[in-house]
Amino acid sequence: MTAIFEETAIKSMTMRNRLIRSATWEGMCDQDGRPTEKLINWYRDLALGGIGLIVTGYAYVRPDGKHNTGQMGIHTHDFADDYKQMTHAVHVAGGKIAVQLVHGGGQSDAKIAGRRPFAPSAVKVDQFPEMPEELTKDEIDKIVAAFGKAAFRAKMWGFDAVQLHGAHGFLINQFLSPLTNRRTDAYGGSIENRSRFMLEVYRKVRDTVGVDYPVLIKLNAADFVEGGLEIDEAIYAAEKLAEAGIDAIEVSSGTPASGKNSPVRVKITNPKKEAYNLELARRIKKAVNCPVVVVGGFRSYKVVEKALRNYGMDYIAMSRPLIREPGLANRWLQGNRNPARCISCNSCFMGGLEEGGIYCVTEKKVKEKAAGQ
Ligand SMILES: Cc1cc2nc3c(=O)[nH]c(=O)nc-3n(C[C@H](O)[C@H](O)[C@H](O)COP(=O)(O)O)c2cc1C
Ligand code: SF4
């Protein structure tokens, strides 16, 4: 029977349990994308807290794919020492770490990315801040190459795996979505063509890191925007990835334009509202033969257990619960099985945008109140 605290392996990467820290932008890098000591300590603390695998916040593979302030960059060899310190800190603390690779495409912001954003097509949709420029075939090839180079650096610098960001409306997802991809060449039209960019990125990364190195993807199973990617086509994309040799698929959903169905849903106040991508993930799991990870609203030990045992999930990923409680995995392991204390208010984003790094605002308020401030 699948148990939460069971050691597993994805290729060479062993994990002490089935709990994963889902990629979470922390806003703790300098303006060039270089990781800071604060960020390295953040990952060390997560590893000390017992989580099986940490996926870093999204790291841009080219500066024109940067999406957010304080975001990690993995576009240059200049940060080698900083990244080596990061992976070393996690390993010494007993953890494993994968880096998430992204290009923001049309969701990039010209002020942050330094130029007008590129996208599969020049369409202005709600999820894009402005009208992007359509990618030429030459630029597509260069971005594919940039993913390969980023994966090479990741492996050299001690990361245990890489994860491609194919969710939440970023570039890979933009190619998959019929809303944002209106191309008439080999990258647009049928789902076969819309999957081409994703598969080219995957193959380039695989060729670079070799067959033994874990390559994962976070994939939208549905965009929840009119005209966007839907489950049947996401299943096709997942099947193709599995056939091509992907090592695990983390199932998510939504884009910044998906309203209450955003990737980061609020008001998860009872177990019924938890695990909001579980049905989608079950459909993906039925179609593929690789491990499937599910993310989105996991808060209770019992819901996590049920997703593993009754829904066939291989791993459960969480983001916000670990901002409030980096030691959640160890707390559960040691027998305190109360739900995660995160109340899904999303106030943590503000710290990353305005105060040099995310933190749990609710926890801070609770502590201040207890201290009588
Ligand atoms: C502050 C913050 C930053 C996030 N950054 C990323 C990211 O870099 N990459 C990503 O794939 N998802 C990102 N997410 C989404 C989470 O990984 C996760 O999919 C979502 O929060 C739902 O899981 P949860 O209910 O466990 O928080 C972020 C979420 C939060 C709250
Ligand atoms: S601020 Fe704290 S309680 Fe609110 S979503 Fe973020 S981690 Fe959870």
Q: Which of 345, 354, 364 for mutating ligand 2's site (highest number of atoms within 8 Å of CB)?
A: 345
Residues 300-328 pLDDT 10s: 999 999 999 999 999 999 999 999 999 99
**What spacing in Å lies between the alpha carbon of 363 and ligand 2's midpoint?**
8
Give the DSSP H/E element, type plus range, for residue 279.
helix 278-287
Mean pLDDT over residues 104-122, rounded? 95
Mean predicted confidence (pLDDT) in 282-302 = 98
What is the arithmetic mean of pLDDT over 189-208?
98
Tell the residue nearest (CA) to atom 20 of ligand 1: 264
Q: Do 200 and 213 contact (CB within 8 A), yes or no? A: no
Name the pLDDT band for 372 (thresholds 50, 70, 90).
confident
Sign (positive/negative) of CA torsion 68, 69, 70, 73? Answer: positive
Q: Please, which pLDDT band fits residue 2 given cuts at 50, 70 and 90?
A: low
Amino acid type, 152: F
Q: Whose CA is nearest to atom 5 of ligand 1?
A: 24
322 CA distance to ligand 2 centroid (A)? Answer: 9
Higher pLDDT, 113 or 87: 87
- Say how many Å lie between the CA of residue 251 and the centre of ligand 1: 12
Give the residue, by CA position, lying nearest to ligand 1 atom 14: 24
- Alpha-carbon separation of residue 290 from 66, 207, 238 (angstroms): 30, 19, 10
Take residue 12 and report the two structure tokens written for it: 């060479």
Cα separation, 315 vs 296, whole angstroms: 12
pLDDT in tens, 353-367: 988 999 999 999 999
Model confidence over 244-278: pLDDT tens digits?
A: 999 999 999 999 999 999 999 999 999 999 999 99
Q: CB within 6 Å of ligand 1 — which residues? A: 22-25, 57-58, 100, 165, 167-168, 218, 252, 263-264, 295-298, 318-321, 348-349, 358
- Asked if pLDDT for residue 196 goes beyond 90, the answer is yes
pLDDT value, residue 38: 97
pLDDT in tens, 208-223: 999 999 999 999 999 9
Q: Which residues line ligand 2 (CB under 6 A)?
A: 320, 323-324, 342-348, 360-363
Q: Which of 255, 312, 256, 244 is nearest to 281 (CA)?
A: 312
Query: Does residue 1 register a pLDDT over 70?
Result: no
Q: For the chain, what is the mean pLDDT?
A: 97
Q: Above pLDDT 70, what percent of the chain?
A: 99
Ligand 1 probe mutation, 19, 20, 25, most atoms within 8 A of CB = 25
Contact 116, 133 (CB under 8 A): yes
Asked if pLDDT for residue 39 goes beyond 70, the answer is: yes
At 22 the pLDDT is 98
Instruction: Please give the residue that has the higher pLDDT: either 181 or 1.
Output: 181
Mutate to test the pocket of ligand 1, among 319, 322, 347, 354 (most ligand atoms within 8 A of CB): 319
Ligand 1: centre distance to CA 239 (Å): 24
123-165 confidence digits (pLDDT tens): 999 999 999 999 999 999 999 999 999 999 999 999 999 999 9
Q: Give the ligand whose atoms come closest to the C-alpha of residue 343.
A: 2
> How far is ligand 2, taken at its centre, from the CA of residue 335, in Å?
23
